[in-house]
Amino acid sequence: MILKEIIQREEKNDLGKSLVQELYKISDDEEFVAGVLLDVQNDNDKRELLDYIISKKNVSFEQIIIKSLYLSKQRDNQQI
Closest CA to 32 of 45, 44, 19: 19
DSSP letter (8 states) at residue 71: H
| pLDDT tens figures, 46-75 | 999 999 999 988 899 999 999 999 999 998
| pLDDT tens figures, 6-18 | 999 999 999 999 9
Predicted TM-score (pTM) of this structure: 0.89
